[in-house]
Amino acid sequence: MTSAKFDRRRFLATTAGLGLAPYVHTSRAAGTLNIGFWDHWVPGANAVLTKLCHEWAKKEKVDIQIDYITSQGNKLMLTIASEAQAKAGHDILSMPTWWVTAQERHLESMDDIMSRLIEENGDVVDVVKYLGRQDGRWLAVPATPGSQTKPPCGRIDIFRKAAGLDITKMYPGHGEPDKALTDHWTWDEFANAAQRCQKAGFPFGLGLGQTTDSTDWVGAMFSAFGADIVDAQGNITVRSDAVKQVLEYAKRLASFLPPDVTAWDDASNNKWLISGKGSLIMNPPSAWAVAKRDAPKIARELWTFSGPKGPKGRFVAGLPFYWGVWNFSRNKPAAKSLITFLSQRPQVEKLVEGSGGYDIPGFSGLRDFKVWAEEGPPKGTIYNYPPRGDTIVSIAAAPAPTAIANQIYTQATMPKMVARYAFAGDSLDRTLAWAEDELEGMMRT
Amino acid sequence: MSVIAHADRIQAPPGAAVRRRKSFLRRRSTVAFFMALPLILIVALLVLYPASYAVYLSTLNKTMERFVGFGNFLFLFKRDSFWMVVEQSVIFAVTAVLFKAVIGLVVAHFVHNLPAKGQRKWRGMLLVPWVIPPAMSTLAWLWLFDPSYSAFNWIFAHFGIDPVPWLGNPYWARFAVILVNVWVGAPFFMIMYLAALKSVPDQLYEAAEIDGANWFQKLWYVTLPMMRNIISITVLFSLIVTFANFDIVRVLTNGGPLDQTQVFATWAFRLGIESNDIPLGASVSLFMFPVLAFAAIFILRDINRRGNEA
């Protein structure tokens, strides 16, 4: 027997169904959509995104207004903060790493879109979930433009001569990594290679400053040693054996780095590699791309490959970008429709190609595009830029609750711990006490 | 209200009120107020409103959902890193203002004593550091101090001198940010002092000379007392601006190494915007407000008193 009664359950089911229904329009029914996208640094990448948006807008008969907002001078961050304060602004806004969970109260749930996209594109990696979801609710959709990882980028010739390691054989430009070689590619071996390259006059360029490049590689190293300084429950765990072990290791590694790394910013490592002074940095392929233009001889010797393995695994830093929709947006259905369109495979492939392989999609099923194998010279140089093999993508300070991890990350607590212990002459105990005090200050709610 | 005043009001003819209104509108102070009104509105909108909003923000908890009163300030007072920022800000502002004042005074004297014909060119050239937007000129300084490719170190290398870790060593980094601030700000002092010097009557120097005063005595007993008000205002203004400095530290060191060059504004930005704790950032940025307001009241009162004495 079926009931015709329109009860509460039926009402909820119907309205939920409406929410998931494809975006339906009448002529210009959806009005205007204001979008704030991250201003891509790769020339031409914005044009691809603009073209795709107009393609969608024409089909859906929506007027769109796109602003490309640079992250230079933290303009994107300031835009997010001010729009959240004013509760007005764009309908869709690009948000980097920590900004999604920080704006949790102001963001529209994306559960409906994400369940559909995960079904189509495969699951997302843990770091994308960690930064994009809160209490099981998706707050934003991982965006292709701007999402990056920071694996090592090394000099093929110097590694061969000085470190006796063929990085192109270990992580070839096609197929799977060489298991025998990658098994030996550990943080200990990394320090040995750093020592040999330094002796040869080409030290590794790993910053210990207060900007993201420094935090990212140090974070990957801490993760590889299982050295969480705050655990997932928010307890300070800075005095663990793993943290002591990673600091002892970092002190040894730091002795092979250039003496001024505590003053490095995000441009310093790129310059170090492009100038020919260094043998390895940890960065997206921007250094290689600039070298291709300004120092082609060096670019031909650059190879991106996965990071070394530690006791807890092989970690590489990943910084996903997201597209969020404000809960005060005036055009949520259109916003969700556009985000869904841009997150589908054909569009994602065009975006990745437009960025020359710089962008890494958040979905696991979208990492098989040809562009990474074809880019060069040398051909296949960024094939291993999307994480392959046993590589785990992580972000510094995870798995701490994001409100605490955000502060650990932006205040560069981990690089400062290494710099204090390795360069400033602090004892291990003093370094840990300093970190403990800093972390206590980050616990406020 | 007195009975007489009340009676006046009752008995006043209707034209008297119109005349009073006309005379009120014709008063110089009323005209001045109306002419300044657009500026007052702009200041209220762009200064008073944001400042009041910052005060309001500083009384909220981290998620900005709960009123905590002075809770954020009490929290900051317990943090070592905050007191480190206070100490560095004071060192930065006081040292920079002191050097700017001394250099400004010396250069103003030099320019003042130049022949009138070429003086304008020198004045123009000396103002260049102050005219260029600091964020841009600091970028040029960053290239000079760059950790790996410092132009200064490149020159030193030609003379066999070891490279200096300009931005890698906390003391050199502090020196670098103060140096750039002095380079940017000294021309402002110079031009203010030059204007003050030009207003000192020559007769005073002639009288001092007749009394047998040497150059130092003329400076000490004639020039400086005559410039006292300008010096006070310039120092006060520069102290406020230097305490609020952001761009030089942000571009040159980003607060590093190991936060040893963080000042109020950069630390407030790091906590408030980058770490998503706007109330705490607002509290850091407001910390110096009462101190500077107190100093401003005393200095301006002193200037006013001297003005009245004159």
B22 and B139 in a single domain? The answer is: no
Residue pair B21/B29 in contact by the 8 Å Cβ criterion: no
Is pLDDT above 60 for A202?
yes
Among candidate residues B133, B55, B80, B100, the one with its CA nearest the CA of residue B236: B100
* Phi, then psi, of A34 in degrees rounded to 5: -100, 125
Higher pLDDT, B12 or A353: A353
CB contact under 8 A, B147 and A420: no
Is pLDDT above 50 for A53?
yes
- Write down the pLDDT at residue A335: 96
**Overall domain count for chain A:** 2
A410 to chain B, minimum CA–CA distance in Å? 6
A257 and A366 in a single domain? The answer is: no
Residues A97-122: pLDDT tens digits? 999 999 999 999 999 999 999 999 99
B139 and B28 in a single domain? The answer is: no
- Write down the pLDDT at residue B309: 58
Q: Is A346 exposed, middle or buried (0-12, 13-18, 19+ CB in 10 A)?
A: exposed
CB contact under 8 A, A407 and B275: yes
A436 and A300 in a single domain? The answer is: yes
CB contact under 8 A, A268 and B147: yes
Q: Which residues of A touch B257 (CB under 8 A)?
A: 209-210, 262-263, 419
B51 and B144 in a single domain? The answer is: no
| Least-confidence region, from A318-327, B7-16, B61-70, B157-166 | B7-16
Question: What is the number of residues in chain B?
Answer: 310
Q: Which residues of B touch A258 (CB under 8 A)?
A: 147-148
A127 and A204 in a single domain? The answer is: no
Residues A226-254: pLDDT tens digits? 999 999 999 999 999 999 999 999 999 99
pLDDT classification of B30: cutoffs 50, 70, 90:
confident
B44 and B188 in a single domain? The answer is: no
Is pLDDT above 90 for B21?
no
Its ipTM equals 0.82
| Least-confidence region, from A107-111, A298-302, B221-225, B304-308 | B304-308
Question: Rounded to an integer, what distance in angstroms lies between the CA atom of residue A309 and that of residue A188?
Answer: 9
| B20 within some domain | yes
B91 and B53 in a single domain? The answer is: no
**Overall domain count for chain B:** 2
CATH number at B77 reads 1.10.3720.10
Residue pair A127/A307 in contact by the 8 Å Cβ criterion: no
A246 and A124 in a single domain? The answer is: no
| A13 within some domain | no
CB contact under 8 A, A263 and B257: yes
Q: Average per-residue pLDDT in chain A?
A: 92
Among candidate residues A19, A30, A437, A20, the one with its CA nearest the CA of residue A236: A437
| B149 within some domain | yes
B166 and B269 in a single domain? The answer is: yes
B178 and B239 in a single domain? The answer is: yes
A99 to chain B, minimum CA–CA distance in Å? 8
B180 to chain A, minimum CA–CA distance in Å? 17
pLDDT classification of B11: cutoffs 50, 70, 90:
low
CATH number at A241 reads 3.40.190.10
| A285 within some domain | yes
Among candidate residues A392, A390, A26, A28, the one with its CA nearest the CA of residue A177: A390
Is pLDDT above 50 for A21?
no
CA atoms within 13 A on the CB side of A353: 12
pLDDT classification of A72: cutoffs 50, 70, 90:
confident
**Which residue of chain A is at minimal alpha-carbon distance from B247?**
A73
Q: Which residues of A touch B280 (CB under 8 A)?
A: 444
| B11 within some domain | no
Is pLDDT above 80 for A311?
yes
CB contact under 8 A, B168 and A403: no
The number of C-beta contacts closer than 8 angstroms across A and B is: 89
* Mean pLDDT, residues A332-352 taken together: 97
Among A356, A374, A392, which residue terminates a domain? Answer: A374
Q: Average per-residue pLDDT in chain B?
A: 89
User: C-alpha angle with apex A37: A29 to A134, nearest 5 degrees?
Assistant: 90
Domain that holds residue B48: 16-57
Q: Is A244 exposed, middle or buried (0-12, 13-18, 19+ CB in 10 A)?
A: middle
Domain that holds residue A296: 149-318+376-441
- Write down the pLDDT at residue B289: 87
